[in-house]
Amino acid sequence: MAKNEMMAKKNEMMAKKNEMMAKKNEIMAKNEMMAKNEMMAKKNEMMAKKNEMMAKKNEMTEGGKRKGEKRDKTAKRDKTAKRKTAKRKLSKGASDWHKLVMKTFHKMRATDKTVKLRDAMVKAAQLKKKGEL
């Protein structure tokens, strides 16, 4: 009987140990959840502050300065602010060479409609070498 009593006590102790482990795991899970919730709360708080700052910034930049306030010169411009647009390059006009080539092209085209600009360029280059242009 002594052996049975010892086994019973051992089983009792094991059951208590299992209970304690279950409680410990439960507490750890709660702590993890609390830590996650705290982190999420801090994150949400930071996002709210950021949104608030962005709203203020938009309010100040929208429509220039507010009545009675000076514009902060150190404030960076919003990325959606005016962007510099590429200016179209103005043409300098046709060069003398191009004018001569076009004149040659029109003369050649008057006699033969199948003439291409390249043919006129070649002809103009030949005339220039001869000194006729």
Tokens 């950021």 belong to 50
User: DSSP assignment of 45-84, as one string?
Assistant: HHHHHHHHHHHHHHHHHTTSSPTT----TTSPPPTTS--P
Return the amino acid letter for 60: M
Q: How far apart are alpha carbons 53 and 55 in whole angstroms?
A: 5
Q: What is the pLDDT along the chain (133 residues), one digit of tens a residue?
A: 787 888 888 889 999 989 988 888 888 888 888 888 888 888 899 999 989 888 888 777 655 555 556 666 665 666 666 677 778 888 888 899 999 999 999 999 999 999 999 999 999 999 999 998 7
Tokens read off for 75: 């404030």
State pLDDT tens for residues 56-83.
887 776 555 555 566 666 656 666 666 7
Break the chain into its structural domains and give their ranges. Answer: 1-62, 94-133
